[in-house]
Amino acid sequence: MGKGDHRVNAYDNIKKGERGAWVSIAAYLVLSVSKLVSGYMFASSALLADGFNNLTDIVASAAVLIGLRISQKPPDSDHAYGHMRAETVAALIASFIMAVVGIQVLVEGFRSFFTGGKGTPDLMSAAVAAVCALAMLGVYRYNRNLARQIDSQALMAAAKDNLSDALVSVGAAVGIIGSQFGYPWLDTLAAIAVGIIICRTAWEIFKDSTHSLTDGFDENRLSDLKESIARTPGVEGIKDVKARIHGNHVLVDVVIEVDPELSVREGHHISDLIEEKMEKLHNIMSVHIHVEPRADHPKLGADQADRSPS
């Protein structure tokens, strides 16, 4: 399969990933409306906070969807590597929006906690939170399975966000039920916990996005790539290995050392073996390989000795 075929498959996978983003948007839209309406009707701070959390998730999912759409654009004169990083930029923007909403929920939660005077929320709000938690668990399973099928890190991250939202709803239900036993402040405390979770999720998305945009790469994963390259027949040394994230792709640059007496054809064959191994073992289709003669090779040393002046 040629590189052109890999590019087509990559774009096809991105289009499949859009389905997961649309499912998340639809689910968050229905659940946020249900939670906000129920939260006001049943006087539950935790359910209201959870509803606002889902509103931010709509924005985040929409940003991922827009990023996926832009990342499908092929390379052009201004973007030789394509537009894959549009997805990461969109996630970065979403993290700021989530942080603002999270801080607002925390401020309102603490204000309600210290001013007091809040009644006990209706038990029906706990039932709403529990049903929403089950629904979000279903969305999580769908996106997780789709992410594994198309090997999409972005969609897997979205699936994990779905799971965290399901846990938030569980926490809201627990807080509401606890308030039924004469502790109405537990509902407010649950709202504060939701605000903390929103801010933490925003921070994690921000950290991951900025790490990728500044060409950061996991050191353990880089070591695995280096070990695979070193085990390739014909590779006698590795002078340098670098990798960076480009959307849902990984770009690898490597400088290898080989027998100095190899032909250009033989050196090219070694490069092909490395590319095949990177694709098979690590699902990496973009590898730039520079071949150099091994400086301390015995044959090279003997040749240099013959050419040295007596």
Strand, coil or helix: 34: helix
* CA-based R_g, the chain, Å: 26
What angle in degrees, to the nearest 10, is found between the helix axes of 45-71 and 185-213? 20
Residues of the chain under the 70 pLDDT cut: 1-13, 116-120, 151-154, 187, 248, 297-310
What is the reported pLDDT for 306?
A: 47
Contact, 35 vs 165, CB < 8 A?
no
What is the reported pLDDT for 299?
A: 59
What is the reported pLDDT for 119?
A: 61
Q: What is the pTM of this model?
A: 0.71
Distance in angstroms (rounded) separating the CA atoms of residues 144 and 180? 35
What is the reported pLDDT for 153?
A: 62
What is the reported pLDDT for 44?
A: 81
What is the reported pLDDT for 255?
A: 94
Contact, 56 vs 198, CB < 8 A?
yes
What is the reported pLDDT for 29?
A: 92
pLDDT per position as a tens digit, 209-246: 888 888 888 888 899 999 999 999 999 989 999 998 88
Domains of the chain as residue ranges with CATH: 3-213 (1.20.1510.10), 219-307 (3.30.70.1350)
